[in-house]
Structure 1
């Protein structure tokens, strides 16, 4: 996508249209990269390339000799596995870098093992067990 068109969509906050050109999403859907991994719905502005200590993207007022960088989602959270539900996915408003960090909160189902059965299944001798791990008899 041309930089000027991309910046217009950013100004409109049209993430849906912008994400149609997102390379990671295309690769995830095709299975060419991170096969089986998932990403939540992006409802926040591109996370890169900001002017430091600013909410402006670099290149809006380009300086001579400066590389032109288009805004992009470079900071992502992906997950893999069963029993995982993403509860939130957002961008932090921290201006210390040209990136905006992202965070995510998950609800994760875990299986609780019976330590006695695990102990027997792994056929541990008590000498091989880490001293901080307790296996009740």
Structure 2
């Protein structure tokens, strides 16, 4: 990631823990340029707004589950309809049924 993007990311409100509604959530390491605000149809940042990572994948794992983040990427080539670049996360999630939940087998008639 370019040094300029690293400087912007260092001031990111989520990274600084300033978004209280996301406490306890996790996010992968951001290794892609800002996802906002671009001139629609281009890869050129709009200089009237501060670049930011408005498009995120955050997740929270319960005590009976495990999640591995395998990939966290943006799609800068998808730029025709928005001033945002979409992001995606590929995850592997393993979960166990909660002990208080009983699994009941049913047979079709």
Give the structure-2-normalised TM-score. Answer: 0.78
Which structure shows the bigger proportion of residues in strand conformation? 2
1:104 aligned residue (83, 86, 89) = 89
2:32 aligned residue (25, 44, 49) = 44
Indicate the residue corresponding to 1:135 in structure 2.
Answer: 106
1:78 aligns with 2:66: no
Q: Distance in 1 between matches of 2:72 and 2:89?
A: 4
1:94 aligns with 2:88: no
Q: Distance in 1 between matches of 2:43 and 2:34?
A: 11
CA, structure 1 residues 19+86, in 2 after alignment: closer, same or farther (shift >3 Å)?
same
2:2 aligned residue (13, 16, 34) = 13
Q: How far apart are residue 110 of structure 1 and its match?
A: 2.2
Structure 2 gap ranges (5+): none
Q: Distance in 1 between matches of 2:26 and 2:39?
A: 30
Pairs aligned (count): 98
Q: Distance in 2 between matches of 1:33 and 1:110?
A: 24
Give the structure-1-normalised TM-score. Answer: 0.63
Which structure shows the bigger proportion of residues in helix conformation? 1
The structure with more radius of gyration: 1
Higher relative contact order (CA 8 A, sep 6+): 2
Q: CA RMSD in A?
A: 2.2
